[in-house]
Structure 1
């Protein structure tokens, strides 16, 4: 009788193991040797400066594969160009999901582009993980349980800047340049929240631009004419550099606040000119690769070794290469936690189960935390000011103000 019972238990255990293997093998995009991941990135077009993050992620997965992959499976990272064009994002995403049969979409870049496939991916129950945009709407697990951001959200950042302006500027009059889409409006709304019932009084001028515009020079001239003593620059890298250059050209000297998605030294500040970039205020959550404070930092050295071996053509002054390394390691952590259950459901569940994860190159005191009702992995900032040829941190680490979950 005991022998028969043992046989039944053994058979049941074998069945469970076999089922687990079958589930992993049969999950979309997953075999015994491969995990297929889809990505769209602007390798061309007006936001091409961001493409270094996609290249860095690809190099990171090359490193993972060279070291044996994840639980014996190699990463097949299929990253395609969408030119920062929502219609192309829709086309490319459908191909990746329906033709390439990827396990999930990861780090698609851009608010308008991700917005174009947001409902589609949730309807198909395909994870849309760690999107490369800080739009606040990515943290809405009740309505969009298959979508999660990674970086701090734009509204929180806007609140942080509003508080800084109120604390440091007498009689602030703010002029705002913003991209005319969800990305730009999210940043603007965050600042309005931060100013509260004084927002209409403090924000004296607004100018928007389209992503297809060749230049924003006329908008900057109009904003300068408003008499504002604060300039809130909500732009992508190409236009951020243009704005910095134009302000210097017309000799306008407001407090210049630049959104974090365009504070890369390699992609923006050096392009505009270091002499024109002095005293700009921004916010960081990652270590700036050019900051001498990290010269002997272990994480910085590990990132440099990765760059030397796997991304030798990458720009070490470009913050987007450090960003790619950090967010790639976060994805690797999720896949390691998932083990052999690489169903889409479990991948999403593990993404929502990150506890004090220390992604490499995050600033000290900043960690990744998620939960079933908290799809905002990073919710902390530190303010910085541009001095000389690098950013200088000041003040404490600031907790996010908008969208925190539990």
Structure 2
């Protein structure tokens, strides 16, 4: 192989330009939907100011939530800075909808690590299991797709909720596209119209032209420091879906008798509006970085998923390495390409919600923002790492060049 330099990566970039054009076409259509929602709600300067104290009669907050509902083709939305993470938004939804004696079915394999503690699949104080709410899991098939027949067989008379995870999370399976999910949604609803269908939507927003709530999901939840925050929102999460579900979630987040009527937005509204407006473009940037990284790393002989030409349903790229040393070199290369803390050296460490040490590279303007260029890897074999985000393609280009150079040098030194 020729030396890895600027010209080498530019050549790889030219090879994936047709894929970039398709991603940009998707972003055009999504941006139009966002623009229309802003216009239909007649956003004005006063809507950006926010509220304090109890947050009574916060017109800007209410308008933003109607915009989210329009963009996600949902009846209602709860968009609040009081959510501390996507897991918090999902946990709020689960506790809002389930009661002792109910059953929750996870239809896309084990849920993301942090959610396992919420439901009690991993021992944790205050979980759904402690409240007498059962959970079970239907694994994906050998190709990483939902097993519709097995899902139907796993439904119980007391099943209240069937949960899906759009993104791959820390599992070696593809993200689930809308056409795959829509078929399962329809099948389950035909047989059990009484069951709610929920989606962990983290990393999946604005990747495809439509959203999961437009194709049959009763609700979806996620974080504003991922895709829908556009890299500007410094805290918060959202729940979109049926009005009855959103109302119940608001009660769960705040208090009975209060619900969505209170909740100060302080100085958050401006960034929430602007972040949502920018999100289709920012997500497109992240997807282009993912495509380039996938193509370049595949050229170096690494197993990557998805491959550059494969359809994407989230912003996450999985890379399989041969050793812990390669994972560390990967994370250090990403960290050194960051605008913040580029001098830091990532190390494996314990993190709340995870049962194994995790290595994270995130030199981000907003702590933990994974719509910004970032990477993480759980310390467990096989050594798989996950790359996501990027506010600008240009940053991603130089990060991929540094990454491929570091890995190529490491391989050469080991020969």
- What TM-score do the two structures reach when normalised by structure 2? 0.34
- What TM-score do the two structures reach when normalised by structure 1? 0.35
Larger Rg: 1
* Higher relative contact order, structure no. (Cα contacts within 8 Å, ≥ 6 residues apart): 2
